[in-house]
Amino acid sequence: MREVYSLLWAVALMLFSKKLVSLLIPFVTLLSTLFFMTSCGKKQATTDCEQLQAVRGDRSLTVGYIAPSKGILGLGDDSVLVVYLHGLSANWQQPFQFPWKHTYADTVTHFRPGITFMSMQYGDSGKWVGQNGFDDITTGIRTILEKYPSEKIVLAGCSMGASSALSYTANAPDDLKKKIVGVVAMYPAGDFAELHEKTTTPVVKSALEACFGGKPENAEAKKRYLAMSPITNIDKFPKTTRVYVISASEDVTIPPKLQETLTEELKKGGIDTRFESVKCSHELPPPHKSFYDALKFALDGK
């Protein structure tokens, strides 16, 4: 009789296990679908970005962008716009192509469902920092906000783009400035005159001279260098803006000391700032995780 009871108990356990599995399968499938829709449901930025022309006077500025997507379940936060500013000798396509394995656009749009991402041309005839470049950036941002209104803006950029993002944060129109909650600055320069002195890259020196009308040894030109340098505009930063500075430890184009000094001055100015040094040169992008962490800090302060 004991053997019969044991057999019946084994059969009952088997049937119960099958029933439990059959109940769990739909639940696990639903969770997997939710994860896929929220984490992977975005368009692939590298191939599927859209384009439009933002018009300022007689200038037509190319804007590449990825519209916010909430997926079929309506999940996602469409209140954030991430604005990427390209580096020297690059164009609006930079974040959709670089870095090759995890592009900046892919990182941003998979970071949080619903984010709007844009990159644009800015600066005419090398005037990338100054009112000309700022007006281009403002035009691009306003054009995208008309299509996809956002309450928060994060500016991001690498090298020249990082410096431009910081300078623009201080000089943006008031209605846009109050929306800027964070800046992701990869390899920026805080002092353009010091950059001209310490960079070992001739093309950077030439770009600075074209932008500011000469070498900083010229008194009038130096005024323009300093007037547009992020480090001299910290008092105009929104106090609620967070800045994540990424520095390349082997950088000779924009030496790490410039980022260290910038970070110190931002903190002295009451700006919530985080600094990260990565072991690479200026030519190499920061690790995918560093860019992800920077976005998280810029938006959430974590």
Alpha carbon of residue 88 to chain centroid: 16
Of the candidates 266, 262, 274, 265, which has an alpha carbon nearest to the alpha carbon of residue 298? 274
Distance between CA atoms of residues 300 and 274, nearest Å: 13
DSSP state of 286: P
Task: State the angle between helix axes of 288-300 and 104-111 in degrees (0 to 180), rounded to the nearest 10.
Answer: 40
CB under 8 Å to 152, separation ≥6 — which residues? 79, 80, 81, 179, 181, 299
CB under 8 Å to 221, separation ≥6 — which residues? 209, 212, 213, 214, 215
* Cα dihedral value 271, 274, 279, 283, nearest 10: -40
pLDDT by position in tens, the chain (length 302): 545 445 555 545 455 444 443 444 344 333 333 333 333 334 444 447 899 999 998 889 999 999 887 655 555 566 899 999 999 888 999 999 888 778 999 888 888 878 999 999 998 767 788 888 999 999 999 999 999 999 999 999 999 999 999 999 999 999 999 999 999 999 999 999 999 999 999 999 999 999 999 999 999 999 999 999 999 999 999 999 999 999 999 999 999 999 999 999 999 999 999 999 999 998 888 888 899 999 999 999 88
Under 8 Å between Cβ of 88 and 207: yes
pLDDT at 141 (0 to 100): 97
The CA–CA distances, whole Å, from 299 to 83, 152, 179, 242, 289 equal: 13, 9, 12, 8, 15
Of the candidates 163, 150, 167, which has an alpha carbon nearest to the alpha carbon of residue 189? 163
What pTM value is reported for the model?
0.82
Domain limits, the chain: 1-40, 45-300
CATH of domain 45-300: 3.40.50.1820
The CA–CA distances, whole Å, from 226 to 12, 120, 129, 196, 206 equal: 81, 25, 11, 12, 17
pLDDT at 60 (0 to 100): 92
20-27, Cβ contacts within 8 angstroms, sequence gap of 24 or more: none
- Specify the 3-state DSSP secondary structure of 105: helix
The alpha carbon dihedral of 98, 117, 165, 136 has a sign of positive
Per-residue exposure over 70-88, b if at least 16 CB sit within 10 Å of its own CB, e if not? ebeeeebebebbbbbbbbb
Going by their DSSP bridges, the two strands 59-66 and 116-120 should be labelled as antiparallel
